[in-house]
Amino acid sequence: MADTTFDERARGSNSGSGARRAPTRLLACCLALLAGCATDQRAGPAPGLSPTDARALVARLLPSGTPDREGWVTDIHAAFASMDIAPTAQNICAVVAITEQESSFRADPPVAGLPAIARREIDKQAERAGVPLLLVHTALELSSPDGRSYGKRIDAAKTEQELSVIFEDFIGMVPLGKTFLSGRNPVRTGGPMQVSIAYAEAHAAARPYPYPVAGTIRHEVFTRRGGMYFGIAHLLDYAASYDQPLYRYADFNAGHYASRNAAFQNAVSLASGIPLDLDGDLVRLDHDADAPGSTELATRVLAKRLDLGAAAIRRDLERGATAEFERSTLYERVFALADRLEGRPLPRAMVPRIVLKSPKITRKLTTEWFAARVDERARRCLARHTPARG
C-alpha cells in the first residue's frame, strides 16, 4: 500500500483515490475481537485432543527440515491454547501455509534491497512533511547510539527488525526525526507471518498478551513467539462464517472481512447496475473519510427499494469491519434484493480484487494470487496429515 513501506497488504480504493491505510481497518477489527466466537475456526479445542496430542499434530504438520522444530511447535501450540483456537489440522495448516509463504519459517526474514527501500521511504516521508531532503540526508550522517552513522546502519540493515530499531533510535535521538517520523515508524509489519504491528498493538490492548513484554509490542512482533501469536490471531482469532479457508487467507492479506465485503459489493453492483471495485472497503478510509465512497453512493441508488435512508445506509456500512455487519438490515436487504433480481443466491464471500503494492514487490501480484498460493500450501500440508493410500 502507498504509505505502508514494508507491508504487502495493499488496499484498493473505494473512492477512486488510490491505496489506503490498512491500520484503520485493523484497529476497527480488533475492537470487535471480543464480540463473539465463530462456529468454524474460533471454537474451543477439538474434543478428545489433549495438549500433548495437539503438540504432536503441530509437529507432524510442520514442513520437513524446519529448524528448531520444537521451538516452532511450542510457540504455535501456545498461541492456539491461549486464544482457545481449535488445534485442528485445517487451522494448523493454515498457519503453516501463511508462515511458509511469508518467511519460510524464519522469525526475522531478510528483505532484498532493504537499504534502498528504507532510503526511498525516508525521502517520501520527508517530502510529505515539507522537510528539505538536504537536511534529512545530513541528519542521517549523525552518529547513532552504536557509534555508526544512521546512514551506515541503514545501509547495513538486512531485516525489518534491524531497520525498525534504527528508526526508533533516529526518532528518539534526532530532533529532525521527530518532525517527520514521530509515530510513523516506516516498518509496519514483521515476524514470521509478516503481521501488521498496528494490528498487534490493537490486539494486545483488547485482550491480554500471554508473555512478559520487556520492551514494546512492536519488539514482540519481531520475535518468533510474538510474531506467531499475533499472526495466528490475525488469521484465526475473529468470528467469520466462511465456508472455505481460502477467504481467511484473502482476509489475512486484505483485512478482516474483506472477502465478505467484496461479495456485498458484488451484490450492490448487480442490483444497482453500477460497476464497483470489489476491494472489500465499504466506506472511505482516507483523509476525506466523511465523504461517501463509490460503494456508499451505489448503495444509495437502491435506497428506495431497500426502504433505508442515507444515514441508515452509512451507519450499517460503517459496521463493515465487524462480524455484526452481516446481521445488519442493509446487508440482509441488499442480498434479498440482489438474489431476487438475479434469480439465484449470490455468493456471500469473494476473494477481493486488489493489486498488491509495496516496495518489496517487483512484479504484479494480487490478493487473489496470495490467497491461491497459501491455499495450495495448506493443501500440501493437509496431505501430510492424511497421506495418500496405496
Cell of 38: 465463530
pLDDT at 43 (0 to 100): 41
Taking the C-alpha atoms of residue 150 and residue 165, their distance in angstroms, rounded to an integer, is 11
pLDDT at 360 (0 to 100): 57
pLDDT at 175 (0 to 100): 80
Largest CA distance in the chain: 70
- In sequence order, the 6+-apart residues with CB closer than 8 A to the CB of 380 are none
pTM of the model: 0.84
* 36, pLDDT greater than 90: no
Question: Per-residue pLDDT tens for 181-216?
Answer: 766 678 889 999 999 999 999 999 999 999 999 889
> pLDDT confidence of 287, banded at 50, 70, 90?
low
Please report, for the chain, the start and end positions of each structural domain, with discontinuous segments joined by +.
Answer: 1-42+242-390, 43-109+191-236, 114-190
* 40, pLDDT greater than 80: no
Give, for 202, the enclosing helix (H) or strand (E): helix 197-206
The residue with cell 516496495 is 359
pLDDT at 182 (0 to 100): 62
* 14, pLDDT greater than 50: no
Give, for 195, the enclosing helix (H) or strand (E): strand 195-196
Cell of 315: 451507519
Q: Which residue has the higher pLDDT, 45 or 56?
A: 56
